[in-house]
Amino acid sequence: MTESLYPFLHAPSSDVDELVAQVRASTVAKVHEAVRLREEVFERERERLAVCARAMAERFAAGGRLLAFGNGGSSTDAQDLASLFLNPPGEARPLPAFGLTNDIAVITALSNDVGFDVVFSRQVAAFGRKGDIAVGLSTSGNSTNLLPAFDEARRRGLLTVGFTGGDGGRMAESPAIDHLFVVPSASVHRIQETQTALYHVLWELVTS
Amino acid sequence: MAERFRAGGKLVVFGNGGPSTDAQHVAVEFVHPVIMGKRALPALSLTSDVATLTGVAARAGFAEAFAHQIRCLGEPSDIALGLSADGECENVLRALEVAREAGMLTVALAGGDGGTIAATGAADHVLIARSADPLVVKEVHVTTYHLLWELTHVFLERAGVA
């Protein structure tokens, strides 16, 4: 695995200058790829982002709230996204939003008593009201706790928004997701970076 | 950073608001790598313990929220990584100062012009995303710490070289 990421690691040279030069070149290449991927995704998704933002703004205007969820790095994005709406920078109006990964008592109770696959769907069932917005983030689209959460959200009349990566995974096949944004990359890191830019823009469109 | 990990050190990460979620992201990045075969490295976010965070803030003030944890949990071989979108967060600055006194390697990811954190030289390494927009700063920081993680592993695996 390392070989494909950093072929020079396995090269015979042990010259420090050469290593640093190679590291610098690979870093520059990755940053260029991060920028290129954003441009590709925004060119393709600009109209759909606007449609999604309008639907979210209508929900907020009618008293809806936003519930965000994800696993691992995506859980931190879910919390960041929720906090961006709840405690925005500048003069933007705060909107009701919360992450479903914030309460470790709830997460461990559900995992221990029922199973990890229900940690988000049970919370959607507990908190979700018709008119709310459910936002789930995954880099693979295959998280087995996200799919039932979207199903539960759809059943309860929530607007559903999904972020995924690669080929979209099982989230791309889910009939329960109203607005799905796929970042076509094989790198989890590049996917997360572009998803961050996507939800930043979505927030700007919703609040503007 | 690779040298510190090799010497048995751990990474402690901290920030406020949006960057608090980045601190948790950095910690999980090192502890549970997304790339198979990469070893787990010890990393801890100082924003995850809400009991301690609110306890210290209520007793000693929010400026001490991270510094207190570093004083109690930090060891000389550790790395302190603070994130601040404008470089002005007092509790991040205090934590970096305490970490340096303890002999830790200090790293800061800042935005804007680097603010007080950059101006006072509070960290050994200050990486600045030069934008006044905290959302743009965040986007650059995410790429920055993804690369920091990768490069740490590069230098860990090339132990004899650097």
Number of domains observed in the structure of chain A: 1
Does any domain span residue B162?
Answer: no
Task: Give yes or no for residue B160 having a pLDDT over 90.
Answer: no
In chain B, what residues touch A76 (CB-CB under 8 Å)? 21-22, 24-25, 28
Does any domain span residue B27?
Answer: yes
Of B56, B140, B138, nearest to B98 (Cα)? Answer: B56
In chain B, what residues touch A75 (CB-CB under 8 Å)? 24
Spatial distance between the Cα atoms of A189 and B3, rounded to a whole number of angstroms: 24
Chain A residues near any Cβ of chain B (below 8 Å): 1-2, 5-6, 9, 14-16, 19-20, 23, 27, 30-31, 34, 72-73, 75-77, 79-80, 83-84, 87, 89, 139, 188-189, 192-193, 196-197, 200, 204
> Is B17 part of the contact surface with chain A (CB cutoff 8 Å)?
yes
CB count in 10 Å sphere of residue A85: 26
Please give the full DSSP string across B61-103, using - where no structure is assigned. -GGGHHHHHHHHH--TT-EEEEEESSS--HHHHHHHHHHHHTT
Does any domain span residue B79?
Answer: yes
Q: What does the pLDDT read at residue A2?
A: 52
Does any domain span residue A8?
Answer: no
CB count in 10 Å sphere of residue A11: 12
The model's pLDDT over B9-48, given as tens digits with 9 standing for 90+, comes to: 999 999 999 999 999 999 999 999 988 889 999 999 999 9
How far are the Cα atoms of A175, A187, A197 from residue B82, in angstroms, in the given order? Answer: 42, 26, 22
The answer to whether A77 and A146 are in contact (CB under 8 A) is no
Q: What does the pLDDT read at residue A16?
A: 83
Q: Which domain holds residue A182?
A: 15-207
Q: What does the pLDDT read at residue B34?
A: 85
Q: What is the pLDDT along chain A (208 residues), one digit of tens a residue?
A: 455 555 555 555 567 889 899 999 999 999 999 999 999 999 999 999 999 999 999 999 999 999 999 999 999 999 999 999 999 999 999 999 999 999 999 999 999 999 999 999 999 999 999 999 999 999 999 999 999 999 999 999 999 999 999 999 999 999 999 999 999 999 999 999 999 999 999 999 999 8
Does any domain span residue B34?
Answer: yes
The model's pLDDT over A58-69, given as tens digits with 9 standing for 90+, comes to: 999 999 999 999
Does any domain span residue B143?
Answer: yes
Q: Are residues B146 and A77, on separate chains, in Cβ contact within 8 Å? A: no
The model's pLDDT over B43-102, given as tens digits with 9 standing for 90+, comes to: 999 999 999 999 999 999 999 999 999 999 999 999 999 999 999 999 999 999 999 999
Q: Which domain holds residue B130?
A: 2-157
Distance of CA A173 to the CA centre of its chain: 17
Does any domain span residue A108?
Answer: yes
Does any domain span residue A153?
Answer: yes
* CATH number for the domain that contains residue B145: 3.40.50.10490
Residues near A201 by Cβ (< 8 Å), separated by ≥ 6? A42, A49
Residues near B148 by Cβ (< 8 Å), separated by ≥ 6? B1
* CATH number for the domain that contains residue A89: 3.40.50.10490
Number of domains observed in the structure of chain B: 1
Q: Which residue of A has its CA nearest to B17?
A: A83
